[in-house]
Amino acid sequence: MVHALQEAWRVLVPRGIFIDLRPICINAPLEIVTSTGCAFAGFVDQSPNIPDDIAADNAIQVILRDNLFKEMQVDYFDFAYYWNTVTEMKAFMDDNWKDDIILPDGVLQQVHLLFDQNRDQGRVRLRIRKRLAKFEKQ
**pLDDT for res 46:** 93
User: What stretches in the chain show pLDDT beneath 70?
Assistant: none
- What is the rounded CA–CA span in Å between residue 107 and residue 109? 5
Q: What pLDDT, on a 0 to 100 scale, did the predictor assign at position 119?
A: 75
Alpha-carbon distance of 51 to 31, in angstroms, equals 27
What pLDDT, on the 0 to 100 scale, is given for residue 137? 97
Question: How far is 101 from 107, CA to CA, in rounded Å?
Answer: 13
pLDDT reported for residue 111:
97
Q: pLDDT tens-digit profile of 108-124?
A: 999 999 999 987 788 99
